Amino acid sequence: MAAAATGVQVGAAIVASRFAVAEVPPLTLAMLRYGIGFACLLPFAWRELARGGAAPAGPRVTHSRAGDLLAMAALGIGQFGILIALLNFGLQHVGAAQAALIFSVFPLLTLLIAAALGRERITAGLLGGVLLSIAGVALALAPKLGAAAGGHWWGELAVAGAALTGAACSVLYRPFLRRYPTVPVSAFAMLASVLFLAVAAATEHWPQRMATISAPAWGAIVFIGVSSGIGYFWWLYALKHESPTRVTVFLALNPLTAAVLGWAALGEPLAPTALAALALVAIALRLATRQAASPSATTSGAGGPR
């Protein structure tokens, strides 16, 4: 349920970002997004830390706390800074539904990375499900692929790069989520990304831009920030309890959300190929989730990745 809710939240945030990025540069938007998200999580993380809940558990006390903090900071910068900056850049050049469909390669990339690191087993059914989602992406992009002069592809490449970054972070997070509570990990990762983005966004002159952002854009930014704080807690909670591929495959829900909201809020058309692609992604979600249950249980029974 947490993974499914995150899939819907990502789709809604893509549409809101598509609206806000017309006025707010990508790095500045990412900084504001996770600054608000961090502010939402901070009271809960502080309460968890006050109770002493962030100490490593059981036999894992041999892990370096400083090393864990550095690793979680790097993952936060990747997940929140690099991923969202790439995604926001891509949204300047492609529509919300198209970006969401490209982003749906996330589960396949997660599966390949997890398998390469020996943290997940590839089964025929699971691979078939994620490949079916790729077929949906290809179908959605068919009109541009067949065009005589399709223009540049920087937007599509940026969204694909965001998916690759998120896939790597999703696989690498799990050992830390098994040692520490979810809320403090979420808040610390967001804080690291906000500090990184505040420096990176200086090239966009973000302090001067604050007074020029319109009220509708601020409304979209606040929605993105608050929903991202809640959504990322759901995301890490799901990653803590399920295999990375089984969690990330629920991101297939985000194209459904983005397509409907993009049509309703932004006036983006729902082409017949896009509708067929969304149907393929929905079927892929069903197949991959069902087939992923068995390897996930095996991983959990073996104690999972360390």
Evaluate if residue 233 carries a pLDDT over 60.
yes
- Confirm whether 262 is domain-assigned: yes
**Mean pLDDT along residues 244-252:** 78
- State the helix-helix crossing angle for 253-266 and 96-103, rounded to 10 degrees: 170
Q: Is 253 exposed, middle or buried (0-12, 13-18, 19+ CB in 10 A)?
A: buried
- Confirm whether 304 is domain-assigned: no
**Mean pLDDT along residues 249-264:** 73
pLDDT top residue among 62 and 173: 173
**Mean pLDDT along residues 203-218:** 90
- Confirm whether 174 is domain-assigned: yes
Query: Residues in the chain, how many?
Result: 306
User: Is residue 189 within 8 Å of residue 73, measured between CB atoms?
Assistant: yes
Number of domains in the chain: 1
Give the best-scoring range by mean pLDDT among 47-56, 59-68, 109-118, 277-286. Answer: 109-118
- Confirm whether 94 is domain-assigned: yes
**pLDDT given for residue 97 in this prediction:** 66
- Confirm whether 220 is domain-assigned: yes
Q: Which domain holds residue 124?
A: 2-146+153-298
Query: In the structure, what pLDDT confidence band is assigned to residue 71 with cuts at 50, 70 and 90?
Result: very high
- Confirm whether 303 is domain-assigned: no
**pLDDT given for residue 57 in this prediction:** 45
Query: In the structure, what pLDDT confidence band is assigned to residue 32 with cuts at 50, 70 and 90?
Result: very high
- Confirm whether 305 is domain-assigned: no
**Mean pLDDT along residues 258-271:** 72
Where do the H-state alpha helices sit in 53-202?
65-76, 83-91, 96-103, 106-116, 124-140, 142-145, 154-179, 182-200
The pair of structure tokens assigned to 167 is 């896939």
**pLDDT given for residue 292 in this prediction:** 45
